[in-house]
Structure 1
Amino acid sequence: MHHMPLRRALLATLAVGLAGCAATTPPEGIVAVTPFDVARYQGRWFEAARLDHRFERGMTDVSATYTLLPDGSVRVLNRGFDTAKGAWREAEGRALFTGAPSTGSLKVSFFGPFYGGYHVAALDADYRWSIVVGPDRSYAWILTRERTLSPELRQALTARIQALGIAPEALIWVSHERQDPKP
């Protein structure tokens, strides 16, 4: 009888582990971009739009900077202005390719061994914009190299989001009016 708690703990750990694996594959029907060149992808991106989620709620002026590290992993630095706190916030994470580095499918961790999927679902040929989805369609971002989008590009990217099965009316368009003191 005294082995039951240990067995339960092992099963719980296994369940979390399996959930972690599932969280790093693209959502059904979405295929990550190939060929993908992380050297061209690295650098600073502005978050043009996102679906709402707890860890970015109320944030404006959000950017992500990706830096390729010598071991093949990618340093991720997210920065944004927290309107509720009136202060800049940043989070640093690490991303690893889930397969070949020529496919835009990575897993990102900001908290130790807990990884979430980061899948480049659409990418401009010149790496000027990117649509990223998470482990499911409730996580999506439109990233651009410029702070502002032309109305034509915004319309085109909205149509692409919709084609991926994501409700475009749920997008939050992010304002970029503050000057980041530490770009």
Structure 2
Amino acid sequence: MPMLLGFSATHAKRSLYSFVCGALMLAAPEIASAQATRAATAAAPAATTAPPSAVILELATRYSAERYMGLWYKVGKTEIPSNELRTRERYEMLLRYDGAVRVIYTYYLPLSNQWKRVEDYMEPLDKNGSTFPSDHRIDPPVTFRINRFGNLLSVDYRTFAIDANYQWALVKGPGTGSYFVLSRSPTIPEPLRRALTQLAKRNYPDMGNLVWSSLEGEK
């Protein structure tokens, strides 16, 4: 009887050992597959964020005096000695009964802690240099001429591109190297800045670098 019990215990141990080995052999392919998947995932390069899509500029095909009126902020400009120290620049444009435009230009001088205000009247001109009534729409570009000292001095501002919704405008100012960007809001997002810079460079390759205003203190 003791020998029978010993035989039975040994046989049971061998059976259990065979069962465990068989289970490990069956599970080996699945374990190897999981390990290979983890290794491939770790070795794969991290997913990169897709670059932002380019801004598609929609330009106004006809100039409307009524839509051009209102408050504009100068959000970008080329730095030239006559305006590089001016900040918080804005233009308020009001349409007159005779078709001319009243312009109220305000800006801040941080060095002297002073606000300045300049008021002018300008007339819109077509491509041939002729004035036109405010209800007449023409193809851009539009030149706005300011006459001073009894028409002895003329200053021209050439608006060569306007947003289809009149939210921004690209302007060539008087003098060499004078360019600026007008916007209905104090600042514009970076993708739009890049798009407007490219558009301005295509029209005027000699344009210098545009310096953009910051949000702080511009409202």
TM-score w.r.t. the length of structure 1 is 0.71
Residue number in structure 2 paired with 1:125: 164
Q: Distance in 1 between matches of 2:84 and 2:213?
A: 11
Q: Distance in 1 between matches of 2:90 and 2:148?
A: 16
- Cα root mean square deviation, aligned: 2.3
Runs of 4+ in 1 over 6 A off after TM superposition: none
Question: Of Structure 1 and Structure 2, which has the larger fraction of its residues in helix?
Answer: 2
Answering whether residue 90 of structure 2 is matched by residue 52 of structure 1, we say no
Contact 1:62-1:174 at 8 Å conserved across structures: no
- Structure 1 unaligned runs (5+)? 1-32
Which has the larger Rg?
A: 2
Answering whether residue 180 of structure 2 is matched by residue 141 of structure 1, we say yes
Residue number in structure 1 paired with 2:155: 116
Residue number in structure 1 paired with 2:117: 90
Deviation per residue, 1:15-72 (Å, 9 max, x gap):
xxxxxxxxxxxxxxxxxx7521111000000001112334423111110111001111
Secondary structure, aligned partner of 1:178: coil
Residue number in structure 1 paired with 2:194: 155
Contact 1:60-1:176 at 8 Å conserved across structures: no
Residue number in structure 1 paired with 2:212: 173
Answering whether residue 93 of structure 2 is matched by residue 66 of structure 1, we say yes
Answering whether residue 108 of structure 2 is matched by residue 81 of structure 1, we say yes
Contact 1:91-1:110 at 8 Å conserved across structures: no
Q: Distance in 2 between matches of 1:86 and 1:112?
A: 33
- TM-superposed CA distance for 1:167, in Å, is 4.8
Q: Distance in 2 between matches of 1:179 and 1:140?
A: 19
Q: Distance in 2 between matches of 1:53 and 1:111?
A: 24
Equivalent pairs counted in the alignment come to 148
Secondary structure, aligned partner of 2:165: coil
TM-score w.r.t. the length of structure 2 is 0.60
Change in 2 beyond 3 A, CA 1:173/1:179: closer
